[in-house]
Amino acid sequence: MSPVRRCSRTACGRPAVATLTYVYADSTAVLGPLATYAEPHCYDLCAEHSERLTAPRGWEVVRLLDGSAPARPSGDDLEALANAVREAARPQERAAEAGGGPRTADPMEVARRGHLRVLRSPDN
C-alpha cells in the first residue's frame, strides 16, 4: 500500500489534497483540507478534481480554507480597512458631528484618544 493517498476519482492516480464529505441532512457537500485519516464515507480528491467539484442540483458546496494557505483579502476587506483608517485619521470634532452630535460625557472619563479612555480613579 502506498503511503501517499490518491484521488478517489476513477482512473485518477494523482495525490489527494482535499477531502470531500456529504452532509445529507443539509444537502451540503463540504470540501476541506485533506483529512488526517482516510474515512469510509469521505472522498479524497486531487487539486484538479477539487477545483472542478460541483454538487447536485439544490445542494450547496462549502469550501473550507486550508489553514496553511494564506487567505487573500477580498475587495470588501480592503474597503473596510480603508474606511477604518479614514475614520481614525478624522479629527474628533468632525467625528462627533458625523456621529450625530456630541457624545454624552462619562463623569469618570478624564480624557479620550480614539477608542481609548482615561478614567478617574474611584478613590478620588
94 within a domain of the structure (yes/no): no
58 within a domain of the structure (yes/no): yes
Q: Name residue 50's beta-bridge partners.
A: none
Pairing of β 42-45 and β 28-33: unpaired
19 within a domain of the structure (yes/no): yes
61 within a domain of the structure (yes/no): yes
How many structural domains comprise the chain? Answer: 1
- Give residue 16's identity as a one-letter amino acid code: A
- pLDDT of 111 strictly over 70: yes
* Band of residue 70 on the pLDDT scale cut at 50, 70, 90: low
pTM, full prediction? 0.52
92 within a domain of the structure (yes/no): no
Which residues neighbour 27 within 8 Å (Cβ) at sequence distance 6 or greater? 58, 59, 60
Range 105-111 average pLDDT: 70
- Give residue 94's identity as a one-letter amino acid code: R
43 within a domain of the structure (yes/no): yes
Range 73-88 average pLDDT: 80
Range 105-121 average pLDDT: 73
Question: pLDDT for 15-61, tens place per residue?
Answer: 999 999 999 989 999 999 998 888 888 999 999 999 999 988 999 99
83 within a domain of the structure (yes/no): no
**Domain limits at 38?**
1-67
